[in-house]
DNA sequence: TTGACATGATACCATAAGGTTTCATATATA
DNA sequence: TATATATGAAACCTTATGGTATCATGTCAA
């Protein structure tokens, strides 16, 4: 329920790279793995962590699994930043509120 | 130079809690430690990680060290989110750009 | 149905990470 | 100057984490 899983997932550079790739297009595990110098199993683990953090969703398509970027997880992290609004100024605070409202 | 250290620092819940405390007021190491059920040494380690991620700054004041929230680190993470603007819509994208500009 | 293909899952390994304990150092203050 | 205070730092322990290798399972195609 908390954003912990999302923050945890974002801590690894490989996982952040995967998210950037998925921002361009959905990909199967094998397709994602092609972009890294590590085994498919390792990539699969990263995808599981990303899934745990609600940063991606996975839908089966035949024998393949299509990984898709999920804004929910990103939103959780984005929301957390809201706590620091007071640290910035009121105007930014209002803009953030507006963005959050629309992202739901 | 990258945001890796900041993301890494944010991955731990204790460190995120520390940041929230510092958003309210600057604190010495001992003061931060009072709020957690762990040794001062452990808290000091967390503060070092936060400092590595540019999420806090530390200024000596006599024999004490005052820890202060540093928006730079938060901005690095916030900036990273910019990559996903296209994933949201144009209006949100513009709002984000506006926020980022002002946060510099 | 048989084999190739895409993924799931488990066991195992080395290193990173979060904590503690202990001792050293710097700075107020009586 | 002596002593208490606030922090720095190193050594050590346990668990989490990122990877690999290996084998099982499900699905497509001939």
User: Are the CB atoms for B60 and B29 separated by under 8 Å?
Assistant: no
The Cα A85–Cα A96 span in angstroms is 8
| CA distances, B16 to each of A35, A77, A83, B10, B68 (Å) | 32, 11, 11, 6, 14
Q: What is the pLDDT of residues B50-66, one digit of tens each?
A: 999 999 999 999 999 99
CB contact (8 A) between residue B84 and residue A91: no
Residue nearest to nucleotide C25 (CA to C1'): B63
Rounded distance between C-alpha atoms, residue B41 and residue A24, angstroms: 44
Q: How far is B84 from chain A (nearest CA, A)?
A: 7
pLDDT digits (tens, 9 = 90+) for B26-36: 999 999 999 99
pLDDT band at A82 (very low <50, low <70, confident <90, very high): confident
| H runs (alpha helix) in chain A | 4-10, 13-24, 29-34, 40-52, 71-80, 90-103
Whether the Cβ atoms of residue B72 and residue B65 lie closer than 8 Å to each other: no
- How would CATH label the architecture of B4-103? Orthogonal Bundle (1.10)
Put simply, the answer to whether B4 touches A13 (Cβ < 8 Å) is: yes
């Amino acid at each position: 329920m908390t954003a912990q899983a999302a923050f945890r997932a974002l801590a690894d550079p490989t996982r952040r790279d995967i998210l950037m790739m998925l921002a361009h297009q959905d990909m199967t595990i094998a397709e994602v793995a092609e972009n890294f110098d590590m085994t498919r199993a390792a990539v699969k683990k990263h995808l599981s962590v990303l899934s745990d953090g609600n940063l991606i969703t996975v839908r089966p398509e035949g024998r393949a699994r299509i990984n898709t970027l999920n804004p929910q997880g990103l939103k959780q992290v984005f929301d957390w930043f809201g706590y620091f609004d007071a640290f910035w100024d009121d105007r930014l605070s209002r803009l953030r509120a507006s963005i959050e409202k629309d992202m739901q």
